[in-house]
Amino acid sequence: MKTPIFRAGLAALGALALGVVAGCSSVSPVTKERVARSETTVQQAEQTVGRSEAGAIELQRAKDHLEQARAALNKKQAEPAERHAQLAQLDAELAVAKSQSASARRAANELLASIKTLREETARGVVASDQ
Partner 1 sequence: MKQTYNLIVAAAVTSLLAACTSTPDRIEELETARAVVPQVESSPRAGVAATNVAEARKSLDRANRIADQKGKVGDIQFEAMVAARNAEIANEKILAAQAQEEIEKGTAERQAVLIEAREAESRRRAQQAQSATQQAQLAEQRASTLEKELSDLRAKKTDRGMVLTLGDVLFDTGMATLKPGAYNTIDRLATVLKEAPDRKVMIEGHTDSVGSDDYNRQLSERRAAAVQTALLERGVTSNQITATGKGETFPVASNDNAAGRQQNRRVEMVFTDDASQVASDVN
Pick 74 or 122: Cβ nearer partner 1: 122
Alpha carbons 13 and 99: distance in angstroms, whole number: 54
Pick 2 or 124: Cβ nearer partner 1: 124
Least distance in angstroms from the C-beta of 64 to partner 1: 13
- The residue type found at 38 is S
Least distance in angstroms from the C-beta of 107 to partner 1: 6
Pick 27 or 99: Cβ nearer partner 1: 99
Least distance in angstroms from the C-beta of 51 to partner 1: 19
* Cα→Cα distances 94→36, 37, 59, 61, Å: 18, 16, 8, 10
Q: Is 74 helix (H, G, I), strand (E, B) or coil?
A: helix
Pick 52 or 100: Cβ nearer partner 1: 100
Least distance in angstroms from the C-beta of 79 to partner 1: 9
* Long-range Cβ contact pairs of 72-75 (< 8 A, separation 24 or more): 73/27, 73/31, 73/32, 73/35
Q: Which residues bind partner 1 (CB under 8 A)?
A: 83, 86-87, 90-91, 93-94, 97-98, 100-101, 104-105, 107-108, 111-112, 114-115, 118-119, 121-122, 125, 127-128, 130
Using alpha carbons only, what angle is made at residue 89 by residues 74 and 79, rounded to the nearest 5 degrees?
Answer: 40
